[in-house]
Amino acid sequence: MQNATIRSPDTLRSQRVPPGQKLTEKFPVLHHGSVPPVGVSAWNFQIEGLIKQPRTLSFQEFSLLPRVRVFSDLHCVTGWSRLNNTWEGVSSQTIKDIVDILPEARYVMVHGAGGFTTNLPIDEFFAEDVLFAFTHDDKPITAEHGAPVRLVVPRLYLWKSAKWANGVEFMAQDKPGFWESFGYHMHGDPWTEERYGGR
Ligand SMILES: Nc1nc2c(c(=O)[nH]1)N[C@H]1C(S)=C(S)[C@@H](COP(=O)(O)O)O[C@H]1N2
Ligand SMILES: [Mo]
């Protein structure tokens, strides 16, 4: 049986395209550096930082976690938006069942292969439409879009959706991730155009 699909709330807006964005039917590929190889045997997922006991999950363990389906729009800071995406994968909320997060934790740094990082407030990381996705529109995510697993954070600009995701780190204070350290906004709300600079 397929899971009921969680609708990202922004897909219920009467105007679904944020200010300064244009619609595309395509799914452009954007990232820094080269596409890492998709080997799942050496893949693991590390949960670290402000938790009682760090945990590392193998690909097998991670892929056996319960799955959710999410319907979302995507908004890239470079100006394109793509509507009606369906994702399937592990809800960010499942992490709460795997580790004990300390009360001081207020931010999350998501890690991706090759040293990529992106920072999020903890409440936004645990929003019900945030997931570590294996599939996009019912097909396995391609290598250039982040296989085997990519984070999807539908309510923030797409740079927060780390491709080749391989871990999360809980932090007391906010810290810039990769693009944020080059001047991208610390938060990245597309509806208020938090594109570059600022917190
Ligand atoms: N690991 C990793 N993830 C990343 C990036 C990156 O450089 N490395 N770039 C981000 C940026 S800036 C964008 S716009 C989106 C693009 O996702 P797409 O290639 O699937 O469209 O990936 C995000 N995730
Ligand atoms: Mo981007």
Residues 114 and 32: their CA atoms lie apart, in Å, by 10
Q: What's the gap in Å between 132 CA and the centre of ligand 1?
A: 14
Report the predicted TM-score, pTM, of the whole model to 2 decimal places: 0.97
Q: What's the gap in Å between 52 CA and the centre of ligand 1?
A: 31
Q: Dig out the tokens for 124 from the structure.
A: 């936004």
| Ligand 1 site, residue 85, Cβ cutoff 6 A | no
| Ligand 1 site, residue 116, Cβ cutoff 6 A | yes
Q: What's the confidence (pLDDT) of residue 161?
A: 98
Task: Please tell me the residue having the least CA distance from ligand 1 atom 24.
Answer: 162
- The closest of 48, 71, 79 to 131, measured between CA atoms, is 71
**Per-residue pLDDT tens listing for the chain (199 residues):** 567 999 999 999 999 999 999 999 999 999 999 999 888 899 999 999 999 999 999 999 999 999 999 999 999 999 999 999 999 999 999 999 999 999 999 999 999 998 999 999 999 999 999 999 999 999 999 999 999 999 999 999 999 999 999 999 999 999 999 999 999 999 999 999 999 987 8
What are the backbone angles phi and psi of residue 134, rounded to the nearest 5°?
-100, -30
Domains assigned to the chain: 43-192 (3.90.420.10)
User: Ligand 1, closest atom to CA 74?
Assistant: 21
